[in-house]
Amino acid sequence: MLKNFLKIIFSVGLFSYLVYQGKIDTKLLSRLLLTPGAMAVTLILIVSQNLSNSFRWLLILATQTKKKINFLFLAGINWIGLFFNTVLPGAVTGDLIKMLYVKQIDSKISKTSMVLTVLMDRIYGLLGLIILMGAISILRYERLTSIGPGLETIVHFNLLLLVGALSFFSLMFLPENYQKKFSYFCSKLPLIGKKTIHLNECFWMMAQKKKTLFTCVGISIISHNLGIMAFYHITSPFYEVPVEFLDIYSVIPVGMIITAIPISPGGMGVGHAAFEKILGYFQLNNGANLFNTFWIMILLNNILGLIPYLLFSKKKDKIAKTIQLESN
């Protein structure tokens, strides 16, 4: 509880500091409300991103259970997870809620398998984002590095992440004898050794399904493109100076990774500060303001996750008990 309380204090404090410094202007939100068309298109793009993420998770779950899972039901579960990540940051994670619903579908699926599907979903998502960052950094290397030393550092960091991601990706193609050696080494680790046995078995099982692997990474790239388009669509009307879409495209993934660091609820404060710095490289002095418009749209999408939560009324009792236990 103390850890979660400190996260909230930190994010609110950072957000308040940015408001005090004039970096976040609440008047921009009034202007945002005057663009219902842009808000609707942005929300559609964000929902489309969520649906693509749900389909990716569906493919991963199919490697761990023989039960047929309805896509729309799974999309609803994913949306419910986003809702709880927003209203109960840190106390009850959306991942836990999602796993409890999946357990209702297949009671035989192990806890380790469920955790693995959520973990691999995150990993595939991150791999897609890093590949996207690396590709755009390579294609626009000269343009981006010529803007300034700060952006040059980001480009080189993107390329370093790309090398790391591809190295991790290559683990999935290890020959079977090396897989056994790797699993044996993990099993001998102090304290956690035995717990890694089933985890490794599930990991190599998923690695054997190359079609699923490549499809999931491809879906991740499409998903992140939808998110980037949503960001650009809702923020571009408020740019102080003209900025090319590909320039914004080059740095948004970095800001998204920083925002996803679990030190504040929903990236509040942290995301604002990150985009204030990143967008400043393009002479945009209202980066925190711009991110705030996108952040509001994300919150709106997440809160709408209450709808499937109420619709799945038969599942609510068990989930509610879990929430109460976690909150205490």
pLDDT one-digit tens code per residue, 107-147: 788 777 788 788 888 888 988 999 988 888 898 888 888 88
Count the alpha carbons within 13 Å of 210 in the hemisphere toward its beta carbon: 5
d(CA 78, CA 313): 16
d(CA 124, CA 222): 12
pLDDT one-digit tens code per residue, 8-60: 564 555 556 555 555 555 666 667 777 788 889 999 999 999 999 999 999 99
Whether the pLDDT of residue 62 is over 90: the answer is no
pTM of the predicted model over 0.75? yes
Residue 60 near residue 215, CB atoms below 8 Å:
no
Count the alpha carbons within 13 Å of 323 in the hemisphere toward its beta carbon: 18
What's the mean per-residue pLDDT of the chain?
A: 79
d(CA 266, CA 263): 9
d(CA 318, CA 324): 10
pLDDT value of residue 29 = 66
Whether the pLDDT of residue 151 is over 70: the answer is yes
Three-state DSSP class for residue 34 = coil
Confidence of residue 327 (pLDDT cuts 50, 70, 90): very low
d(CA 150, CA 177): 44
Confidence of residue 277 (pLDDT cuts 50, 70, 90): confident
Q: Where are the alpha helices (DSSP H) in the chain?
A: 2-20, 27-33, 36-61, 71-87, 94-105, 111-139, 141-145, 149-171, 176-187, 195-208, 210-235, 245-260, 270-278, 287-303, 306-311, 313-327
